[in-house]
Amino acid sequence: MFVDHVAFDAAELKRYLIPVPRQEIVAEIENGGEWAKRLVTGTRGGLPRLFPLREAELKFLKILSEKAEIKAELITGQNGNSYRAQ
């Protein structure tokens, strides 16, 4: 499922979130601490509620992510050409 792609990278969190969090959270991020793990877990749990996708939409995203192929018919309901992302 697409929420499995939600993860954290300490450098990315540091680059985009700092100086937003408190310094003790920054130290936790750099050490792979529990705060970042809770952030990922909460995001994974919340995304399906925020973006409730049908099975065909999930399949569309999986094919796009894994094969770089756009199968528009999965989300439009119309048979059409598939496109390969370059």
Regarding pTM above 0.75, the answer is no
Q: What is the pLDDT of residues 3-55, one digit of tens each?
A: 677 777 777 776 776 556 567 666 776 666 677 778 888 888 888 888 888 89
More confident residue, 30 or 72: 72
Contact (Cβ atoms closer than 8 angstroms) between residue 2 and residue 65: yes
Distance CA 28, CA 32 (A): 6
Contact (Cβ atoms closer than 8 angstroms) between residue 36 and residue 13: yes
pLDDT at 17: 64
Category of 32 on φ-ψ map: left (φ > 0), alpha (ψ -120 to 50) or beta: left
Task: Name residue 21's amino acid.
Answer: P
